[in-house]
Amino acid sequence: MFDLIDKLEDKETLEREEWITLLSAYQDDALRDYAAQKARAVAQSVYGHDVYVRGLIEFTNYCRNDCYYCGIRRSNPDADRYRLTKEDILACCEEGWELGFRTFVLQGGEDGYFRDEWYEELIHEIKQRYPKCAVTLSVGERSGETYRRWYEAGADRYLLRHETADDVHYRSMHPQEMSPEHRKKCLYTLREIGYQVGCGFMVGSPGQGPEQLAQDMEFIYELKPHMVGIGPFVPAAGTPFADKAQGSLELTLFLLSLLRLQEKKVLLPATTALGTIHPLGREMGIRAGANVVMPNLSPVAVRKKYALYDHKICTGEEAAECRAA
Ligand code: 5AD
């Protein structure tokens, strides 16, 4: 089994059957340690000891989609909806800038309330105030034209998790009107326009097994994104998957290492979901090969409401250490 990790490190890819064998063995502590040590060495050879910091601003939890796993799905009546104003968002950026953040990630549900022009103006304004910053958007599936307009307005990067590369699995987690083909197409469109692109998936989502994860690794090998965001699936109240089992910490860490070995230069965040299922989850993620953290810059008053899943960290008024760093 260790030889598969050596092969991945050298060849940057494995056969489908090899993936399945390797991924099925994630409970082997020695195997995970071996992968993590190599992954950390690769991360250090590319990025040194640096960990990149991105400020996350969650500006709306209205969403037209109804994903079975997500706490802000449109038919969750318990989601306490909010929208930030442009002024609120700019205030988050200002606070972030003062604290040393140089990338702002604007994330939200697919909220039809904000027009394309609203985004253009906002992006313009942020870039005008902080010419040296990078603006990352993460607002779901849009038309190519919209993506282009936002790129021209100054957006640099776009995060859109593919969620799963297995089409049958994708359909089992989303309602009819959402398609795996369209989601993947959006990623290719974004890349073609010139964005730095991030894809990603949940680990341990219902119906996922080694076969699905193997396809995720293959899809990422083909897309060659700049960033891959992965985190454990965490059940969310008010969703059809509320009673499903949480994703595994060990498997998530193992996948971070395997992603680092396959995609040597990729930006790999140690995500909030990872920090939610274990108090040292994000630190463990860095040790397994991740090199990005995305602290929450959203106003503390709304953090609890951006509840993609239960028990999300850094949402309490008392969490002063989480306020912005
Ligand atoms: N558990 C973990 N991650 C989730 N996401 C949505 N719902 C959940 C959940 N219940 C992730 C999705 C989405 C990202 C913003 O959050 O992968 O793309």
Work out the average pLDDT over 178-194.
98
Q: Which helix (H) or strand (E) holds 220?
A: helix 210-223
3 contacts: CB under 8 Å, gap ≥ 6: none
Q: Where are the beta strands (DSSP E) in 18-111?
A: 52-53, 55-60, 103-108
Q: What are 90-143's pLDDT values in tens digits?
A: 999 999 999 999 999 999 999 999 999 999 999 999 999 999 999 999 999 999
Q: Which two tokens stand for residue 314?
A: 């850094």
Per-position DSSP letters for 242-266, written without gaps between them: TTSPPPPHHHHHHHHHHHHHHSTT-
pLDDT at residue 323, as a whole number = 60
CB of residue 234 inside a 6 A radius of ligand 1: yes
Calculate the alpha carbon distances from 84 to 119, 134, 316 in Å.
13, 20, 18
Partners of 229 in the β-ladder: 200
pLDDT at residue 316, as a whole number = 86
* Alpha carbons 285 and 231: distance in angstroms, whole number: 10
Residue 158 has pLDDT above 90, yes or no: yes
CB of residue 309 inside a 6 A radius of ligand 1: yes
| Ligand 1: residue whose CA is nearest its atom 3 | 233
Residue 324 has pLDDT above 60, yes or no: no
CB of residue 105 inside a 6 A radius of ligand 1: no
Work out the average pLDDT over 178-182.
98
Report the nearest atom of ligand 1 relative to the CA of 310: 10
Contact 245, 267 (CB under 8 A): no
Residue whose pair of structure tokens reads 């290492």 in the numeric block? 257
Work out the average pLDDT over 218-224.
98
Distance 7 CA to ligand 1 centre (A): 31
Q: What are 256-289's pLDDT values in tens digits?
A: 999 999 999 999 999 999 999 999 999 999 999 9
* Alpha carbons 191 and 209: distance in angstroms, whole number: 28
Q: Which two tokens stand for residue 194?
A: 């010139």
Q: Which of 58, 63, 66, 69 to mutate to test the pocket of ligand 1 (most atoms within 8 A of CB)?
A: 69
Q: Which two tokens stand for residue 222?
A: 């083909």
Compute how many other C-beta atoms are within 10 angstroms of the C-beta atom of residue 115. Answer: 10
Q: Which of 106, 202, 243, 276 to mutate to test the pocket of ligand 1 (most atoms within 8 A of CB)?
A: 202
Distance 234 CA to ligand 1 centre (A): 8
Q: What are 302-315's pLDDT values in tens digits?
A: 999 999 999 999 98
* Alpha carbons 310 and 190: distance in angstroms, whole number: 31
Range of lowest pLDDT (34-48, 216-230, 306-320): 306-320
pLDDT at residue 178, as a whole number = 98
Q: Which of 60, 66, 70 to mutate to test the pocket of ligand 1 (most atoms within 8 A of CB)?
A: 70
Q: What is the mean pLDDT of the chain?
A: 97
Contact 211, 166 (CB under 8 A): yes
Per-position DSSP letters for 168-188, written without gaps between them: HHHHHHS-TT--HHHHHHHHH
* Alpha carbons 137 and 128: distance in angstroms, whole number: 17
SS (H, E, C) 21-46: HHHHCCCCHHHHHHHHHHHHHHHHHH
pTM of the full predicted structure?
A: 0.98
Q: Which helix (H) or strand (E) holds 87?
A: helix 86-99
Contact 212, 253 (CB under 8 A): no
CB of residue 236 inside a 6 A radius of ligand 1: yes
* AA identity, residue 130: Y
| Ligand 1: residue whose CA is nearest its atom 2 | 233
* Alpha carbons 270 and 285: distance in angstroms, whole number: 5
